[in-house]
C-alpha cells in the first residue's frame, strides 16, 4: 500500500481481548463483597467499554456515591487478583488478532493506536502479558479521558500521531466505540465477536461489521482505495 499516513485505532475488551470471563468474575466478586446480588451477564457486558465508575453507576443506580466507589475498588482488586491467579488464560487475544496486528504493523504508512475504557495499570499489564509493546504508537486509557463515547481518546490519538481524521479508523465491538468514532469524525468498523449485537453496531453507524479478523485487511484496503 502507498498513500497518506493511516491510523488504525483498536478498542480492547471485546475487540482485541476476550476478557468476558475475567470481567464477569471480577464484577460478581465486587458486588458479592458488598453483600449485593451481582448483575446478570447481559447487564455487565452491556456496560463494557464505559469507564468503570460510569459502568458501575449504571449497574447500581440505587447505590450512593460511597457504595459505588467501593464497588469500583472491589472490581479493580478482584480483576488484579484474578489476573495474577490465571495469567493470559483469562484474557486471551481473539483468534486472528495477533496476525492482523502484525500485518498492519508491517505496513510502512500505518500506525496503530488503542482507545480503551481500561485503566493505565490494566492496559500496561495486558500489553506486557501479550507482548504488544512494540505495536502501538498511541495508547489512550480511561485514567486520562472522559468515558466513551466522548471523542477525547480519539482526538488524543490523532494529535499524538499527526494523522488526519479522514485517514483514521476505529475498530470496536460496542455502540460506544461507534458513537465515539462518529463524534471524532472518523470511520468506524464493528466486530461481531464482542459484547454488543451486530445490528446495534450498524444502527450506531458502523461502516462495516466484521465477522472475522481475517476480513480486516481487505476491508481496510478497500476503504483506503476509495480515498
Q: What are phi and psi of 171, to 5 degrees?
A: -110, 125
- The answer on pLDDT for 1 being more than 70 is no
Q: Are residues 81 and 100 in the same domain?
A: no
* Structural domain boundaries enclosing 157: 6-18+92-226
Task: Give the whole-angstrom CA distance, residue 220 versus residue 111.
Answer: 13
**Is there a domain that residue 128 lies in?**
yes
Q: Are residues 56 and 114 in the same domain?
A: no
Tell whether omega for the bond before 149 is within 30 degrees of 0, i.e. cis.
yes
Choose one of 89, 111, 128: the last residue of a domain: 89
Residue of 203, 210, 197 whose CA lies nearest to 178: 203
Residue 63 belongs to domain with CATH number: 1.10.150
Does the pTM exceed 0.85?
A: yes
Task: Give the whole-angstrom CA distance, residue 133 versus residue 129.
Answer: 10
Instruction: Convert the pLDDT of each residue in 51-80 to its tens digit.
Output: 999 999 999 999 999 999 999 999 999 998
| Domain total of the chain | 2
- The answer on pLDDT for 227 being more than 70 is no
Instruction: Convert the pLDDT of each residue in 158-184 to its tens digit.
Output: 999 999 999 999 999 999 999 999 999
The cell for 54 is 460510569
Q: Are residues 84 and 96 in the same domain?
A: no
- The answer on pLDDT for 213 being more than 80 is yes
Residue of 99, 40, 147, 215 whose CA lies nearest to 206: 215
**Is there a domain that residue 130 lies in?**
yes
Amino acid at each position: 500500500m502507498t498513500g497518506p499516513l493511516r491510523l488504525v485505532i483498536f478498542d480492547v475488551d471485546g475487540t482485541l481481548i476476550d476478557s468476558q470471563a475475567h470481567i464477569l468474575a471480577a464484577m460478581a466478586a465486587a458486588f458479592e463483597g458488598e453483600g449485593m446480588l451481582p448483575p446478570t451477564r447481559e447487564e455487565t457486558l452491556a456496560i463494557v467499554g464505559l469507564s468503570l465508575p460510569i459502568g458501575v453507576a449504571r449497574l447500581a443506580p440505587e447505590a450512593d456515591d460511597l457504595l459505588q466507589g467501593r464497588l469500583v475498588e472491589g472490581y479493580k482488586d478482584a480483576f488484579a487478583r484474578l489476573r495474577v491467579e490465571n495469567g493470559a488464560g483469562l484474557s486471551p487475544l481473539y483468534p486472528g488478532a495477533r496476525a492482523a496486528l502484525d500485518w498492519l504493523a508491517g505496513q510502512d504508512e500505518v500506525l496503530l493506536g488503542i482507545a480503551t475504557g481500561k485503566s493505565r495499570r490494566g492496559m500496561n499489564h495486558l500489553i506486557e502479558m501479550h507482548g504488544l509493546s512494540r505495536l502501538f504508537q498511541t495508547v489512550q486509557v480511561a485514567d486520562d479521558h472522559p468515558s466513551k463515547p466522548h471523542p477525547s481518546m480519539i482526538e488524543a490519538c490523532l494529535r499524538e500521531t499527526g494523522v488526519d481524521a479522514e485517514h483514521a479508523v476505529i475498530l470496536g465491538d460496542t455502540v460506544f466505540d461507534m458513537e465515539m468514532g462518529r463524534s471524532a469524525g472518523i470511520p468506524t468498523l464493528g466486530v461481531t465477536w464482542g459484547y454488543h449485537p451486530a445490528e446495534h453496531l450498524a444502527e450506531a453507524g458502523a461502516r462495516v461489521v466484521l465477522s472475522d479478523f481475517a476480513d480486516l485487511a481487505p476491508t481496510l484496503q478497500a476503504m483506503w482505495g476509495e480515498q
